Amino acid sequence: MACEIANGEGRPCKMVVVADDCAIPRSKGETGARGVAGTIFVHKVARATAAAGKSLDELHAMASLCNSRIWSLGVALDAVTIPGATTMNNRLEGNKIEIGLGIHGEAGIRQSKMMSADEIAEEMVDTVHEFGYKPLNGSGIEKIAEGDNVALLVNNLGGTSNFEIAILTRSIVLYLEKVVKCKVTRIFVGALMTSFDMHGVSLSILSLDENNKIAELLDEASDAPAWCKADVWGQTMSERPSATLLPEVVVKPIAASDVINETVSIPNFSNLAKAAISASCTALIENEPKLTEWD
């Protein structure tokens, strides 16, 4: 509607509908599908195209190309807590996870018992891979082929620790490269499309085009606070830069004779320290109501 109003007022405007969620059957069409974290890739490509001074038509074409090659899936260990809600969403109690859970807490494909990181990675990649993608102006559904270059976005849905998401990312990359046999050339990890405190992760896979146009736009610098620089694996590299072991830093031992020990003397230190600690404790006790209010 906003696009139509803008065009009606003489301001050229075009629209790209992102519907990358693999949890929604294609039979529902774009109006029934959900746009999830794959939207971030579309935004990045559109922004980089605009920054290069391209026309609206060129921007729309690149955003549409990117959009046609993305598909995503989320997995959550706990549902989102909606601010102001009078009840808690507790449908994932009892050591369960939900595959395909929506970012607003909508039901996913199915619930499952808790899985390991490797099992979750396999479930996510297999679901996304089997779903496939519809290339722009293509006649049917395509899947990643052996040797294809892809970019990954492993998105923190809000309540997942860096430790957990790093372990899962490693499992996803290993499964894609060893089983699907594609080449993960770019890995973006972070909290880019969150759902308040949802304890979960979404995976977006972007199949890069043959001419590498999308990759070049993804690599353009961005000052967006949440955007992270990717680990780029080029065609001529034997291994990923982040997998290269760095040499251990060896610190030269210091002889005892080289250590300088200086004695600092503070007159009446014991009484001064006692008075300072006592004054600090008194100030905290007296200001407890105000500190509680601020907290």
Kindly list the catalytic residues: 104
Pairing of strands 199-207, 70-78: antiparallel
What is the DSSP code (8-state) at residue 23?
Answer: T
Give yes or no for a contact between 239 and 177, defined as CB atoms under 8 angstroms apart: no
3-state secondary structure of 123: helix
Give yes or no for a contact between 194 and 159, defined as CB atoms under 8 angstroms apart: no
CA 144 to CA 150: how far, in whole Å? 8
Burial class (CB in 10 A: 0-12, 13-18, 19+), 267: exposed
CA 196 to CA 34: how far, in whole Å? 18
Q: Which residues pair with 72 in a beta bridge?
A: 21, 204
Tokens matching residue 121: 């990675």
CA 295 to CA 288: how far, in whole Å? 10
What is the DSSP code (8-state) at residue 180?
Answer: I
Tokens matching residue 61: 């074409």
Tokens matching residue 242: 């982040």
Question: Alpha helix locations (H) across the chain?
Answer: 2-8, 29-32, 38-51, 56-67, 117-131, 162-175, 213-218, 269-286, 288-294
